[in-house]
Amino acid sequence: MLNTINIGILCLNFDEAKEFYIDNLGFFITMDSIIQCDSGTSRRLTMAHESNKKFSIEFMHPLNIEQAHRVGSKGGTINLFTLPTKNIDTLKERLEKTAFFVNYVEAPYASFLNVEDPMGNNICLYEPC
């Protein structure tokens, strides 16, 4: 068993998502290709995270109008996922004046930076003290 975790994220703009996840969250591309299907072409973009190569995300175009309306909907979750980081102060400085910044909280055991990705999904970054 591979013990991998894969999250599918509905996405309207792959390039914007790719830039955000690489530049801010420490992801790297594992696949970025155009795939031929019966209905035409589709892009497949998958990324893994530097802290855990077995945690990956796959961006997918909505297949219909209902899925397009769900892009960024929270689906009953507080955060899409939570990730460790080693540079929370740098990320906070970079993102706090952008639309991606949600809030920053310091606790005795860790600092937490909550951001929103380009699709509107909440992501929590943390750095233990």
Q: What is the pLDDT of residue 37?
A: 74
Closest to 95 measured CA to CA, from 68, 116, 122, 65? 116
**pTM for this structure?**
0.87
Q: Quick check: 80 and 120 in contact, CB under 8 A?
A: no
Domains of the chain (ranges; CATH) run 5-128 (3.10.180.10)
| DSSP one-letter code for 85 | -
Tokens read off for 70: 């769900």
Q: Quick check: 99 and 55 in contact, CB under 8 A?
A: no
Tens digits of residue pLDDT in 21-60: 999 999 999 999 988 877 777 888 999 998 888 889 999 9
In the three-class reduction of DSSP (H, G, I as helix; E, B as strand; rest coil), residue 114 is classed as strand
Task: Kindly state the helix (H) or strand (E) to which residue 89 belongs, with its residue range.
Answer: helix 88-95
Tens digits of residue pLDDT in 52-106: 888 899 999 888 899 888 887 776 668 889 999 999 999 999 999 999 999 999 9
DSSP bridge partners of 69: none
